[in-house]
Amino acid sequence: MIGVVATLKVQPDKASAFEAVFLDLAAKVKANEPGAIVYQLTRSKTEAGVYKVLELYASGDALKHHGGTDYFKAAGAAMAPFLAGRPEIEYLDAVE
């Protein structure tokens, strides 16, 4: 399994629009990607405008498939105007 933590900083006045786009993406991931075991948006309790996406994939192929979907690409383009900087992505190996 492969874990991913994506940290997204969102402009304060754009949070609700960002969340709407992301939640639509998450629904598509959950409906269409059996290899995406966890795909959850979380909001920081201590840093305003900071979100973290917690992701867990069954395999490298599942992660690659996720990044190649049309709906992922479209959501990235739709979310870009709401962000306050580039996403920070951390890849993790599952310990089993």
pLDDT per position as a tens digit, 10-43: 998 999 999 999 999 999 999 999 999 999 999 9
Please state the φ and ψ torsions of residue 45, each to the nearest 5 degrees: -85, -15
SS3 30: helix
List the structure tokens of 41: 């948006």
pLDDT digits (tens, 9 = 90+) for 44-60: 999 999 999 999 999 99
Q: pLDDT per residue over 63-73, tens digit each? A: 999 999 999 99
Give the chain's domains with CATH numbers.
Answer: 2-93 (3.30.70.100)
Tell me, yes or no, if the pTM score tops 0.85.
Answer: yes
* Sign of the torsion angle spanned by Cα atoms 11, 84, 2, 58: positive
